[in-house]
Every structure is written in structure tokens, then in C-alpha cells.
Structure 1
Amino acid sequence: MIINKNGLLLVLFLIFFSNFLSAQKDFKNGNGFYKKERQSLQASIHKNFYDKASGYYVVVVDPAKREKKNGYLREYTYIWSLCALYQAANEIEKLEPKAKLMAPLLKIMYDYFKPAPPKPGFSDYIMKLKPGERYYDDNEWIGITALDAYSRTKQKSDLELGKLIYDFIMSGYDQTLGGGIYWKEGSASSKNTCSNGPGVLVALQLYQATKNKAYLDTAIKIFNWTKEKLQAPSTLYYDNIRTKDGSISKPVLSYNTGTMLQANIYLYEITGDKKYLQEANVMADSSLSFFYAHDKFRDGFWFNAVLLRAYQHLLKYNSDKKYILGFKKCLDDALKNNKNEDGLFVGKEGVQSLVEHGGMLEILARYAWIENKYNLSEPNSSLSTVSKK
């Protein structure tokens, strides 16, 4: 068969257009799109952030942008980034139980572990390389993930890690300003939503795992304090309260709202009190309009991942698809406009840090689960389950 030049161009155009339509269909309707994106990002993170020679991850790709602290170069990542990867690994294992990603990460994280009084906990940096400080929120993210994993695997070591984290964070609780947990050990300048909201979650997860009422009592006590001191009129949450004068630092970030939104959902599950579910629905509406109305993420990927945890949890009790679809528009925008040729995400200052990539990895793993269970393309207001044989 002979095809002239114009005919060949037509054939090539039809092939390209067919592939384009197929890709668009995957993008809009699921069909494993987010799973493929997650797999691609996972490989890019390993290639660009993992230092095989040392066995550690680097905090940023560009060596010139790595931080010096107290005269020492922080070549490797802070534990916060590993917290992000650890939660992402848990979400991936929910989809692929044989992946076994969490254990290697936890092994690395124990190089940051500081068994010092008043209670053992994780430092922000590798102990043998001039360690820094112990942050209560860093430890809480680890505890949340370990207890998430325990609910899935019933592995005793995850429960024990959750208990260890609880003991450490409660060493940061006192009655200054009537209660609450400080942001970091050795600093009494502020009590933050980011150290109290996730502290509530650790306590609630421990109650669910053990049915020890002391954990529930603690959770409610810290929850009520945080709500009283740091909730904005919008029902979202401010950043922190200063202990010196009780003044409020008022940035509103998605992760702070996310932990307190999810705390309401857990409290509804545990107590059956509908006021918590009502509050969760109100907060979800407020957060949707504040964070996702313009189809672009207004703060970092990892912060948004924490709020997505609450949205996904809320699906058990509120099937309205608007929260997941509103978030999805921002996710799709980032996938379309913020990736470079290496499959990494860039911002105004170039390639973003490991913690942001860990946050995006968690987001993609969660959407891989969502697209497998729900039909995201339906235009009606209720999220329907995809039929699975």
C-alpha cells in the first residue's frame, strides 16, 4: 500500500489524537491515572533525593541550597520529610500490601532517635551528625502513621511506637494558658495547633486501639483547649498562641485545619455524639471555600495532604463529592503545570523540597485509592461507588 505525504501526515495526526484522547480519558475518569502518577513520582524521589552511598535522603536536590545550622552543613533531610514519606508509604501499602516500604523508612528514622529524659523521642536531625532539637509535632506525625499502620496490620511494634510517642508529647503539656502542648522541647514561647491537633489524633487512635479511657480523656481535654484558644470565627484554625501575652499568630494553614477536622470525625466515631460530625461538615465546607476555591493549592503539598486525610475520612459519613473534587482540581493543576522533565515538582524557587514531594506522594496514593473505589467523573452531588467484581 502506498501512502502519499499528506496521507502519512493524516495517519500520524489520527494516532496522536487517539493517544491524546486516551490520556485525557485517563486523566478525567481515573482508570489508574493517579496510580501511574504515584509510581512515577515514587521513582523520581528515589532517584533524586535518596543518597545510596550514605543510606539517607537529602533535603533538597541542589547541594548549594542545603542549610547550615550552628556552623554545620545539614546535607541530609530533617525528620519532617521522613514523616511525610512514612505516611505516604503507609498509604501505598494499603493498596499494595507486599510493597513493604514502611520498615526501611523507620530504620532510617531511628538514626534520629534520642533516648533522653524526660522521655525518649525523635530529634529533628541524625543523632551522629550534630543533632538539633526535638519537636512535638514531628513526633506526632510519626505516631499518627504508626497507629494508622497498626489499625491495618495489628503489628505490636506499631502500637508500642504510638505509645512511646504519646509519652513524649505529653512531656510537652502543662497548664500554662490553661493547657496545651508546646511546639518544641525546651521552648516555652508558643503552643501551636500543629502540636495540639495531631496530639489529639495520637490520643484518639490509641484509645481506639486499646480502649484505655485515659487516652480519650486526654484527647478531649486537648481538643477542647485547642478549639477554645485557636479556632477562628471561620471554624478554621490559627497557627499558635504566644505564652508571653496570650496573643494569637493568625496564619491559617491547611494542615492545622486538617488535624482538627479529623479529630472531630474520630470523636464522632468514638462517642456517637452528632455535634462532632456537624462540626466536621461545617469545617469541611469552610476549608473547601478557603483553600480550594481557585483551583490551585494555596500552601504546600504536605500541608494539603494532612487536610486530605480528613476529607477522605469524612467520606465514611458524608458522601458529598465536592470536597474530593474541589481538592482534585488543585491536584490536577499541580500535575499539569508544576512538574519538570525529571518528574519533580517546582515552585518559584525551583525544585521543591523532599517534604513537599513526600506530601504529594501521599496525595497521589490517596487518590489512587479513591479512584479505585469511587467514580470521580460523575457530575451529581453524591460520590458513588464503582462496581467491582
Structure 2
Amino acid sequence: MSTVRRPSRRAAAGIVLAAGLALTGLAAPASASTAADADVAFDAFIDAFWDPSEKYFFTNSDHVIDPAHAYGPEDGLYTDFWWEAQLWETVMDAYERTGDPGQRDLIDDVYDGFVAFYPTFANNYNDDIGWWAKASIRAYELTGDPRYLDRSEDLFDGIWAEWDTTYGGGIWWRKDPHDQKNVATNAPAAITATQLYQATSDPAYLTKAQQLFDWVDDRLQVDGHVYDHLEGPGSGTLVKWDFTYNSGNYIGAAMALYEATDDATYLDKAIAAADWTTTFLTNGGTFNDEGIDDGAGFKTILIRHLARLATVHGQTQYLPLLQANVTQAWDHRRTSDDLVGSNWSMPTPAGRLQSLTAAAVVSALQIVPANGYSGPQPGTGIHDAENAVTTNLNAESTSTGFLGRGYLAGWSSDGQAVTFHVNTAAAGAHELRLRYAAAAGDATRRILVNGVAVGANHLFPGTGSWSTWAETDLDNVDLDAGHNTIRVEYASGSGSSQFLNLDRLVVSQQREAEDGTRHGGIGLESSTAGYTGSGYLAGWNGSGQWVDLSATVVKAGRYDLTFRYAAGAGNASRYLFVNGASVVSNLAFPSTGSWGQWRTVTVEDVALTAGANTISLIFETSNGSSNWLNLDHLTLRYVQH
């Protein structure tokens, strides 16, 4: 029986940092995310983890007990209590997609195998019992077998007995001791109660579902940000851990109540939580790695409910992100066994994988509608430092002005580093832009790309205060197609010095203006300092002058185009054409004050086609183009629309 539940969690100022994985033994990435892959993934999962004789899932892919996770039947050879409920839902995900009779039989087999080990469902943890109550009512909806309805009612009634008025209501996480009330117990219970109401028409279940959701909504979320739990004396201390499954459970509960009541307020709450989660809990557009053990299953719960929000309730704005996540994860599978690890942003390491970890992408492939794309998946390029893989670093959110959920701080000695897993569609030159604060004065760090130093002692000029943020760039850094690592580390041997707060890394493809095709006598100069590449375009102030910049992208979609320029003679403007079509008739380039000052202008959400694109910046008097302009380079960042 499971005796250890909540995952080991590293938290600081309400920020949870992603757990790292060893970067050895990485498999070569594959490419595909189509409907057929859902079948391949499910079959591979069954081959690796299902024991048909015991009717139970193994904990590990090597079928060997790991002393570090020795919970569950036969000392952890098989999965523990709540894992088996999650894997049962993975089987249901597949059956709901395919209607396959073999998968229908497997629903019964998983349940029968579990009951053989846990005939009374005895467990001290109410969330463990709640997962089985929730999965059982789903099994009833899919199969019509009344034993699943009976089981769900019995289990739900047992945990509802653990509701009391402490902290204003809510079900305790465990029966003994009563030490916390969390989302993971109460939101799934709200879903179960709503589904029991739908199945039985008993209004008492709906009342309980509304009480459960209202308590979570009132005590554990603010503006769509769903926190983890309350603990301690009195009215309780709010523990602000951020996990994808908290958001997922809240979204699922809100949707269930919307479906039962037609009250659009619940749908609005689900959307607010989905917006917060998809904004703040991603790494380059891929959902955060939350480590192995329990955390590896959290994304599954989010994706299951987020996909329903997108497909059943018309919130299609989330589909591109979901589809990109499935593609990114499946591209990073091990080709030897078609299994995927916990960090979907990197290739899956060789060696043992846990069943809960591997099941996440299997469920995602069943749930998320395939878009038929079978190429490499570029990331969005936006990597918040608190969502990256850290070494001896903590996150904060006390200084104002940060982006995302916070920033990395307390960083001043050897052995401290952050590693970003960055995925690009094509090899070539990229700009790395780091947002930081350095109130103690100039700081320096070593920056490595794929293990090779590109900035042995990169300077982060002082910012004057910890709430004043600046940006520093590394230009024309070669990245590989697919997966890359970018590591920022304190290395005294390379001259690293001073404290530094790191907020965000933005990675963009880079195209030097001097590499474009010039028309009408535009000049090429290198006399004013601060440019990138070999120079910049100049002598540009009359009709008939323009430059064509080539941009080859692997995936069609929306891209942000950022132009680096100097406008020392005052405000300037130009006509932006992309692939022969007008995009901005008179794009403004505000004055930079001098030719030695460089700034950027960004045009968002520009459609580019897969393959070659031509981006033209034109002096067109009839459209209002004006004044001199020096153009340094263009960067492109995929924004996943």
C-alpha cells in the first residue's frame, strides 16, 4: 500500500523549479505527431509496463524494484495506489479515442488487478482514494458497467466524510493527521461529485460539487492562478506551489460544473486558469518538466482538461499549444522503445523510465487532436529562468518588474547555474537575449551552448537596483536544428563575479541586414560601433531603395519580426512587405538620438510559409516613408499560432 504521497518539492517565494535530468545517453530525436502515432505510443507503453498475468502496471520499464520508489504491490515492483488510477485513465483515453474492444477489456482488467491487491481500497490519503473515485465514474460513463458507478459513489462518500469547517471548508488531504487541505484532493472530488450528479440525478451530489469548487475557488486561487494548499493553525497559511495539475484539476472542476449547470461563470473561471497556466508554466512553449515520481504525471491531468476545454467548449486558442507540446514530446522519444521522459523539451535519456512518466505523452497523443504535422517543432523562444533546470539556485519574486512568475537569485559562487533546453527548427545563427538585474554592480558569467563556451566571461552591466531590468545579447550564436542546451553559470576560473538576478532568455533566428539583397543604391557601412555581423545598411532615404531579407523557416505559422536599427537623424519609417504582400504600410522607427545608439522595433504575428520567405523593407514616399535609417539585423521568433 502507498505510504508516501506528496512529491519532493523545491519551493521559494511561491516558485517551483523544474527538476533536471542527466544529459547522458540521449537518443537521437525522431519526427512525427500524427494520428497513427497515438496507436504506436499506446502499444509501446503496454509492451513496456503491462503485466497481463497480474493485471497490473509495472512501476519501471526494466521491471526492477527501485529502492528510492518502493511503494505499491510487491515492494514497488508494481505501481502505487494513485499511479495505477492515472494509468487506468490512460487506458480510458485510448479507448475513448478508438473504441477498440481490446482496450475495452483492458479497462476491466486494470480494475480487477487493482482490486486483487487493494480489495477494500483502504488508504490514509483522501486524494489517492479520490483519484479512484474519479476514474471509476469515468469508467462507468464509458462502459455502462454499474459496478464502476457503485465504486465511485462508495469512495466519494468516504472522502466526503473528511470535509469539515477548518479553513472554511474543504476535504483534508489525509485522514491522519489532518495537516493540509489542497487542490489535489478537493478539485478532483468536485469533478467526481458533478459526474455522479449527472449519472444519478441526485441533487445532493451537485450541491457537494459546488461546495468543493467554491472552497477551492475562494481559498486556493487568485485571478486564475491556482495555488497548492492551506496548512497550519487558524485560517491557515497559503502554500503557493505552482504545479500544472493544480490548474488542470481546477479547470476540470469548473468545466464539469459548467456542463451540469449551464452557468457561464464556471466556464469563465476555467478560461482564466487556462490562460494563466499556458502563459506561466511553459518553457519555450513546452509545459514545464516537473521531475519524475509523482510530478511526471501532473502534465497529463492538465492536458486532459485543457484539451476538453479546447475541443468541447470551443476554446480553440489552446489547440496550437497542445499540438505543439505533443509534437515536441513525441519528437523526443527514444527510438529504441518509443517511450518519452519527463522533460518534453529534451531527448529522452537512456535507461529506466517510470510508468507514470511514460504515460504522460501516451495520454496526450490520445487526447489532443492530431494536426498532421510531422516535422521538427520549433520552440517559442521565450524561456523564463524560473522554469529552466537549475543547479544550486533558487527563485524569487520579491523585486518588482520581473516577467513570468519570478527570477533566479542568490547567485554568486561556483557550482551555481541554469540550463535552458532550447529547440530550434533549423541550424544557423541565433540571437540570445538575456534579461537581468545587477544592482550590486557589473556582473559576469560564463555562457555555454551545447557544452562550448560562447561567452567565457559575458558582461551583465550594473542596473542600479534589483527592480531595474536590462537586456544583454549574444549575437550570431550557432544553434543546432532540434535540441540545444544553453547554460549560464558562475565560474570563478573564467572571471565570473558579483550577484546577478536572471529573469528570462529569448532565442530568435538572426539574419544580418548586410546579407540581404540591396536595391536602389543602399550602402553598406561599418563605421559606427555597436553593430552585429560585418556591418549595417546605410545611405537609405529615397524612393526606389529597399532591401530583401531572406528567411527560411521549417514550420509555417506566425512569427514576430524584430528589426535592429539606428535613426540618428530623427524618426524614420518604412514600408514592410512580406512575400509580396503589404504587412505594415508605414512602419515607425523612432529616433535613437544618435547613430551610435541601436534599438529594436517588433512587428508581431506575421504569417510566414514553410520554406523560403522574403521580407522587404522599402522606402516608399507615397506611403509616408521618411528620413535616414541604418539597419543592422532582423530576428525571427516563432510564436506558435
For the pair 1:199 / 2:189, whether they are aligned, the reply is yes
* Secondary structure at 1:32 match in 2: helix
For the pair 1:275 / 2:280, whether they are aligned, the reply is no
2:101 aligned residue (98, 102, 108): 98
- For residues 171 and 205 of structure 1, the distance between their equivalents in structure 2, rounded to whole angstroms, comes to 19
The answer to whether the Cα contact below 8 Å between 1:93 and 1:101 also exists between their aligned partners in 2 is no
- More helix by percentage: 1
**Can you list the C-alpha shifts for 1:336-356, whole angstroms capped at 9, x where unaligned?**
225362333345895332222
Counterparts of 1:246-257 in structure 2, within 5 Å, are: 246-257=236-247
2:623 corresponds to = none
1:285 corresponds to = 275
2:80 aligned residue (60, 78, 82): 78
* Secondary structure at 2:174 match in 1: coil
Superposed CA RMSD in Å reads 2.8
Percent of paired sites with the same residue: 23
**Can you list the C-alpha shifts for 1:124-155, whole angstroms capped at 9, x where unaligned?**
xxxxxxxxx43211222222222122223322
2:532 corresponds to = none
- For residues 239 and 82 of structure 1, the distance between their equivalents in structure 2, rounded to whole angstroms, comes to 23
Residues 352 and 296 of structure 1, relative CA distance in 2, 3 Å threshold: farther
Deviation, structure 1 residue 328? 2.6
2:360 corresponds to = 359
For the pair 1:37 / 2:41, whether they are aligned, the reply is yes
The answer to whether the Cα contact below 8 Å between 2:59 and 2:79 also exists between their aligned partners in 1 is yes
The answer to whether the Cα contact below 8 Å between 2:55 and 2:110 also exists between their aligned partners in 1 is no
Residues 301 and 190 of structure 1, relative CA distance in 2, 3 Å threshold: same
For the pair 1:343 / 2:338, whether they are aligned, the reply is yes
- For residues 187 and 229 of structure 2, the distance between their equivalents in structure 1, rounded to whole angstroms, comes to 11
Residues 32 and 57 of structure 1, relative CA distance in 2, 3 Å threshold: closer
Deviation, structure 1 residue 113? 2.8
2:320 corresponds to = 325
1:241 corresponds to = 230
Counterparts of 1:1-80 in structure 2, within 5 Å, are: 27=32, 30-46=34-50, 50=51, 52=53, 56-60=56-60, 61=62, 62-67=64-69, 73-80=75-82
Opposite residue 334 of structure 1, the aligned amino acid is A
* Secondary structure at 1:304 match in 2: helix
Deviation, structure 1 residue 375? 6.9
For the pair 1:305 / 2:300, whether they are aligned, the reply is yes
The answer to whether the Cα contact below 8 Å between 1:338 and 1:347 also exists between their aligned partners in 2 is no
Opposite residue 58 of structure 1, the aligned amino acid is F
The answer to whether the Cα contact below 8 Å between 1:66 and 1:74 also exists between their aligned partners in 2 is no
Deviation, structure 1 residue 76? 3.0
1:19 corresponds to = none
Deviation, structure 1 residue 86? 0.6
1:219 corresponds to = 209
The answer to whether the Cα contact below 8 Å between 2:55 and 2:109 also exists between their aligned partners in 1 is no
The answer to whether the Cα contact below 8 Å between 1:296 and 1:333 also exists between their aligned partners in 2 is yes
Opposite residue 109 of structure 1, the aligned amino acid is F
1:113 corresponds to = 118
Residues 57 and 249 of structure 1, relative CA distance in 2, 3 Å threshold: same
Residues 179 and 218 of structure 1, relative CA distance in 2, 3 Å threshold: same
Residue range with higher mean Cα deviation, 102-111 or 37-46: 37-46
2:633 corresponds to = none
Residue range with higher mean Cα deviation, 80-89 or 149-158: 149-158
**Can you list the C-alpha shifts for 1:36-68, whole angstroms capped at 9, x where unaligned?**
33333332333xxx385x554432334344545
Residues 302 and 103 of structure 1, relative CA distance in 2, 3 Å threshold: same
The answer to whether the Cα contact below 8 Å between 1:296 and 1:330 also exists between their aligned partners in 2 is yes
Opposite residue 41 of structure 1, the aligned amino acid is F
The answer to whether the Cα contact below 8 Å between 1:325 and 1:376 also exists between their aligned partners in 2 is no
Residues 104 and 379 of structure 1, relative CA distance in 2, 3 Å threshold: same
2:133 aligned residue (126, 129, 143): 143
The answer to whether the Cα contact below 8 Å between 2:93 and 2:363 also exists between their aligned partners in 1 is yes
1:17 corresponds to = none
1:4 corresponds to = none
1:134 aligned residue (118, 124, 140): 124
Residues 376 and 265 of structure 1, relative CA distance in 2, 3 Å threshold: farther
The answer to whether the Cα contact below 8 Å between 1:236 and 1:283 also exists between their aligned partners in 2 is yes
The answer to whether the Cα contact below 8 Å between 1:261 and 1:310 also exists between their aligned partners in 2 is yes
The answer to whether the Cα contact below 8 Å between 1:345 and 1:351 also exists between their aligned partners in 2 is no
* Secondary structure at 2:286 match in 1: coil
Residues 237 and 165 of structure 1, relative CA distance in 2, 3 Å threshold: same
* Secondary structure at 2:230 match in 1: strand
* Secondary structure at 1:191 match in 2: strand
1:209 aligned residue (169, 188, 199): 199
Deviation, structure 1 residue 334? 2.3
Residues 286 and 376 of structure 1, relative CA distance in 2, 3 Å threshold: farther
Opposite residue 205 of structure 1, the aligned amino acid is Q
Residues 59 and 375 of structure 1, relative CA distance in 2, 3 Å threshold: closer
Opposite residue 58 of structure 2, the aligned amino acid is V
**Can you list the C-alpha shifts for 1:184-213, whole angstroms capped at 9, x where unaligned?**
221201011100010101100000111111
Residue range with higher mean Cα deviation, 342-351 or 197-206: 342-351
The answer to whether the Cα contact below 8 Å between 2:153 and 2:196 also exists between their aligned partners in 1 is yes
1:177 corresponds to = 167
1:386 corresponds to = none
Deviation, structure 1 residue 319? 3.0
- For residues 372 and 271 of structure 2, the distance between their equivalents in structure 1, rounded to whole angstroms, comes to 22
Aligned length: 330
- For residues 293 and 76 of structure 1, the distance between their equivalents in structure 2, rounded to whole angstroms, comes to 32
1:11 corresponds to = none
Greater relative contact order: 1 or 2 (C-alpha under 8 angstroms, separation 6 or more)? 1
- For residues 212 and 166 of structure 1, the distance between their equivalents in structure 2, rounded to whole angstroms, comes to 14
1:127 corresponds to = none
- For residues 156 and 213 of structure 1, the distance between their equivalents in structure 2, rounded to whole angstroms, comes to 19
- For residues 142 and 256 of structure 1, the distance between their equivalents in structure 2, rounded to whole angstroms, comes to 17
User: What is the TM-score normalised by the length of structure 1?
Assistant: 0.76
Residues 333 and 375 of structure 1, relative CA distance in 2, 3 Å threshold: closer
Deviation, structure 1 residue 247? 0.6
User: What is the TM-score normalised by the length of structure 2?
Assistant: 0.48
Residues 340 and 172 of structure 1, relative CA distance in 2, 3 Å threshold: farther
